[in-house]
């Protein structure tokens, strides 16, 4: 039984293939098209999934789309008629595009794929819920989904048990935590549906001075976490911007121009927004716990990528365990929709041990053989050194320990936004300069952006205050007190980006200015070679922690092919690149 899930036409389009209930392949279209957050029909992702399963489209039993276009069409019609002074005129201009791409989607899918089988449609947040629960290790759990909007819904919660999912409550458009966060993302000069994680990373540099204003003017928050936004301050229902003049006047001026200087005010706004977001999420989570009476919770939807809030759920909510879909955005909707067909539509049994998830470490994308890599290198006359397979981890550890930046290209690529040790840029977490070097000379991005650590699972508690695995880099934890460095002149007020200059722990390159880190715990079973690399680094240095950031430069998707990896390597100041068993270097050799 082969089931193909598809998501597209908003952002992060993707395809996923399920075979007899097993996840065979999943990938975002951006990895092939090289357009970041590509929303187009995921034809290349579909082709990859079929190739990975070694089947053609005729072998697909069901194709399922992750949402219902008619419901979305209904919401857009209502929005324009309700909020726009000339709503019907604006709507009529958009209608031909929607009729072409959305309303007749079933025929469009059949034609694009030359597919004659059955085509099904899920609901947007049902797909999110399925992507959260079905791959999780839990036999039963509460489920929470929060995003910008899908059809009418902006958040939902319910429970999963065995092969069933029940949605118990929803929050509807235009009241949306995701859109509130995106509104501030826009106001702070970052790109909507892309720069929200920058706002989260900027928050610790500021103080939450605007929290009360947000809660008093922009949002009516109830004790159960439900809320209404004051739409007088927002423009996203019908306009081309997220915020309006009232919003700008409330916060003392127009939106920050992209790439302009970040001021203390912007950091304070980011800090305030993050605090409000955490407050709302904790209220929701506490209500979900009381309502579902479950001990475990599963998360999906774009807001589930807010790893700071996820860490607060883990530490401050009544839930004992948490599992978050690594591709939490619409990309994961393709996977969730396919799993819904297998479990709910076809009523297949689900078996789990409450310990191991079914996500396969989220290494669900394309891989390239050593023969393929060698042919590419030889054809382009690129110099390389061929390594013995049992020496790769040791040599990589040696490179990193000597304060070099290493490009790491191995195995199947990651599904979701995080590099998890297959398409990664690696560095020494003990270095005081490495955070600045990688930001400026490798990633070409803002200096305030923190880097995540990869840490051996069994050594996690020695460095971080966390009691559970974090394999998908979606939980923030505090650095242990004994690993911190006491600040000199602690009474001196240090503000803004000057906080970057302070060494805060024995692993300063991954320690954010609030003494936290977005951690990835690495288990040998999930990624043997990557584990062996970190373990070799640990044996050499006594430190089981390295920097892990995605193999790309700012504005580009993570590299997928050896050709893209080599191009990225050459146009940055990366020192070394290991692709498969081949070592590439620029200035000096590793003997």
Condensed to tens digits (0 to 9), the pLDDT of residues 349-376 reads: 999 999 999 999 999 999 999 999 999 9
Q: Which two tokens stand for residue 79?
A: 């929005």
pLDDT of residue 273: 98
Residue 406 and residue 376 in one domain: yes
Residue 332 pLDDT greater than 70, yes or no = yes
Residue 21 and residue 117 in one domain: yes
Domain boundaries, position 213: 171-321
In a domain? residue 380:
yes
In a domain? residue 524:
yes
CB 47 within 8 A of CB 57: no
Beta strand pairing status for 62-65 and 2-7?
parallel
Order of strands, edge to edge, in the sheet holding 164-172? 164-172, 153-161, 140-150, 296-300, 321-324
Residue 104 pLDDT greater than 70, yes or no = no
Q: What is the full DSSP assignment across 311-378?
A: HHHHHHSS-SEEEE-SSTTHHHHHHHHHHHIIIIIS-------SS--SSGGG--S----HHHHHHHHH
pLDDT of residue 418: 96
Mean pLDDT confidence for 585-589: 69
Residue 391 and residue 342 in one domain: no
Residue 441 and residue 562 in one domain: yes
Mean pLDDT confidence for 161-175: 96
> Which residues have CB under 8 Å from 570's CB, separation 6+?
none
What is the rounded distance in angstroms from the CA atom of residue 266 to the CA atom of residue 190?
A: 11
Residue 186 and residue 294 in one domain: yes
pLDDT of residue 98: 52
pLDDT of residue 63: 98
The closest alpha carbon to 116, from 44, 61, 50, 42, belongs to 61
CB 17 within 8 A of CB 2: yes
Residue 196 and residue 91 in one domain: no
Cα torsion angle, 243, 248, 250, 252, sign: positive
Where does a domain end: 259, 292, 321? 321
**229-241: per-residue pLDDT in tens?**
999 999 998 778 9
In a domain? residue 363:
no
pLDDT of residue 56: 97
pTM over 0.85: yes
Strand partners for 3: 18, 62
CB 313 within 8 A of CB 205: no
In a domain? residue 48:
yes
Mean pLDDT confidence for 447-471: 94
In a domain? residue 547:
yes
pLDDT of residue 417: 96
Residue 15 and residue 55 in one domain: yes
Residue 87 pLDDT greater than 70, yes or no = no
Residue 49 and residue 120 in one domain: yes
pLDDT of residue 240: 80
* C-alpha 437 chain-centroid distance: 24
Q: What is the CATH number of the domain that holds 385?
A: 3.90.870.20
* Interior angle at CA 550, CA 544 and CA 555, nearest 5: 155
H or E segment to which residue 585 belongs: strand 582-585
pLDDT of residue 520: 98
pLDDT of residue 586: 85
Mean pLDDT confidence for 413-435: 96
Residue 316 and residue 330 in one domain: no
Residue 82 pLDDT greater than 70, yes or no = no
Q: What is the DSSP letter of 270?
A: H
Number of domains in the chain: 3
CB 519 within 8 A of CB 478: no
> Which residues have CB under 8 Å from 100's CB, separation 6+?
none
Minimum mean pLDDT range among 81-90, 211-220, 373-382, 437-446: 81-90
Average pLDDT of the chain, as a whole number: 93
CB 575 within 8 A of CB 396: no
pLDDT of residue 490: 53
118: buried, middle or exposed (CB in 10 Å: 19+, 13-18, 0-12)?
Answer: exposed
Q: What percent of the chain stands above pLDDT 90?
A: 83
Q: What is the full DSSP assignment across 528-548?
A: HHHHHHHHHHHHHHS--EEEE
Residue 279 and residue 390 in one domain: no
In a domain? residue 151:
no
pLDDT of residue 498: 81
In a domain? residue 549:
yes
pLDDT of residue 492: 63
Minimum mean pLDDT range among 56-65, 93-102, 243-252: 93-102
**460-497: per-residue pLDDT in tens?**
999 999 989 999 999 999 999 999 998 765 546 788 88
Q: What is the CATH number of the domain that holds 7?
A: 3.30.420.40
pLDDT category of residue 500 using cuts at 50, 70 and 90? confident
pLDDT of residue 293: 97
Residue 295 and residue 332 in one domain: no
Mean pLDDT confidence for 325-335: 98
CB 201 within 8 A of CB 450: yes
Residue 84 pLDDT greater than 70, yes or no = no
CB 541 within 8 A of CB 404: no
Residue 39 and residue 9 in one domain: yes
Q: What is the full DSSP assignment across 8-19?
A: -SSSS-EEEEEE
What is the rounded distance in angstroms from the CA atom of residue 381 to the CA atom of residue 398?
A: 26
Q: Which residue has the higher pLDDT, 518 or 91?
A: 518
pLDDT of residue 237: 83
What is the rounded distance in angstroms from the CA atom of residue 317 to the CA atom of residue 287?
A: 10
Q: What percent of the chain stands above pLDDT 70?
A: 92
Residue 76 pLDDT greater than 70, yes or no = no
Mean pLDDT confidence for 553-559: 95
H or E segment to which residue 310 belongs: helix 307-316
Residue 138 pLDDT greater than 70, yes or no = yes
What length is written for the chain? 591
Evaluate the omega torsion of the peptide bond into residue 468 and state whether it is cis, within 30 degrees of 0.
no
Residue 89 pLDDT greater than 80, yes or no = no
Number of C-beta neighbours around residue 485 at 10 A: 14
Minimum mean pLDDT range among 286-290, 444-448, 456-460: 444-448
- Composition of the chain by helix, strand, coil, percent to 5: 40, 20, 40
Could you give phi then psi for residue 479, rounded to 5 degrees? -70, 135
Could you give phi then psi for residue 275, rounded to 5 degrees? -65, -40
pLDDT of residue 210: 98
Q: Is 578 helix (H, G, I), strand (E, B) or coil?
A: strand
What is the rounded distance in angstroms from the CA atom of residue 500 to the CA atom of residue 43?
A: 43
In a domain? residue 492:
no
Where does a domain end: 330, 358, 386? 358
């Amino acid at each position: 039984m082969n089931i193909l899930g598809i998501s597209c036409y908003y952002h992060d389009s993707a395809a996923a293939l399920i075979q007899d209930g097993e996840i065979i392949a999943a990938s975002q279209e951006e990895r092939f098209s090289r357009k970041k957050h590509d929303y187009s029909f995921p034809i290349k992702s579909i082709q990859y999934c079929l190739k990975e399963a070694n089947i053609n489209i005729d072998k697909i039993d069901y194709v399922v789309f992750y949402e219902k276009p008619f419901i979305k069409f209904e919401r857009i019609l209502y929005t324009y008629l309700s909020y726009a002074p000339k709503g019907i005129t604006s709507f009529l201009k958009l209608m031909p595009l929607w009729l072409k791409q959305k309303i007749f989607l079933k025929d469009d899918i059949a034609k694009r794929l030359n597919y004659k089988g059955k085509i099904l449609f899920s609901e947007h947040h049902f797909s999110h819920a399925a992507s959260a629960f079905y791959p999780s290790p839990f036999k039963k759990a509460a489920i929470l989904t929060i995003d910008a909007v899908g059809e009418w819904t902006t958040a939902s919660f319910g429970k999963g048990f065995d092969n069933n999912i029940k949605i118990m409550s929803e929050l509807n458009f235009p009241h949306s935590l995701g859109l509130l966060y995106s509104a501030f993302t826009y106001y702070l000069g970052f790109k909507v549906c892309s720069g929200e994680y920058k706002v989260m990373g900027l928050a610790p540099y500021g103080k939450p001075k605007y929290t009360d204003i947000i809660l008093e003017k922009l949002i009516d928050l109830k004790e159960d976490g439900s809320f209404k936004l004051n739409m007088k301050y927002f423009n996203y229902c019908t306009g081309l911007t997220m915020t309006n003049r009232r919003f700008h006047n409330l916060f003392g001026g127009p939106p920050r121009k992209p790439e302009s200087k970040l001021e203390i005010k912007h950091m304070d706004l980011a800090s305030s927004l993050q605090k409000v977001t955490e407050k709302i999420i904790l209220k929701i989570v506490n209500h979900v716990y009381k309502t579902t009476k479950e001990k475990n919770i599963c998360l999906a939807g774009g807001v589930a990528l807010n790893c700071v809030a996820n860490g607060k759920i883990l530490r401050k909510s009544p839930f004992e365990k948490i599992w978050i879909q690594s591709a939490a955005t619409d990309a994961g909707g393709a996977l969730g929709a396919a799993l819904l067909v297998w479990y709910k539509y076809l009523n297949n049994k689900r078996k789990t041990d409450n310990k191991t998830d079914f996500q396969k470490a989220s290494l669900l994308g394309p891989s390239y053989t050593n023969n393929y890599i060698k042919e590419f290198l030889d054809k382009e006359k690129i110099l390389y050194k061929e390594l013995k397979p049992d020496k790769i981890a040791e040599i990589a550890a040696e490179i990193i320990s000597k304060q070099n930046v290493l490009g790491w290209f191995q195995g199947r690529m990651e599904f979701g936004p995080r590099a998890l040790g297959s398409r990664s840029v690696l560095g020494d977490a003990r270095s005081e300069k490495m955070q600045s070097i990688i930001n400026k000379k490798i990633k070409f991005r803002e200096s305030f952006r923190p880097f995540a650590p990869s840490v051996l699972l069994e050594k996690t508690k020695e460095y971080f205050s966390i009691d559970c695995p974090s394999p998908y880099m979606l939980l923030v934890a505090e650095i242990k007190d004994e690993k911190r460095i006491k600040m000199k002149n602690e009474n001196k007020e240090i503000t803004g980006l000057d906080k970057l200059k302070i060494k805060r722990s024995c692993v300063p390159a991954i320690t954010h200015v609030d003494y936290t880190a977005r951690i990835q715990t690495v288990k040998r079973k999930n990624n043997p070679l990557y584990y062996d690399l970190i373990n070799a680094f640990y044996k050499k240095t006594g430190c089981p922690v390295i920097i892990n950031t995605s193999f790309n430069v700012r504005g580009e998707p993570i590299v997928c092919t050896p050709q893209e990896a080599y191009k990225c390597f050459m146009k940055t100041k990366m020192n070394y690149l290991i692709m498969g068993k081949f070592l590439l270097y620029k200035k000096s050799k590793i003997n």
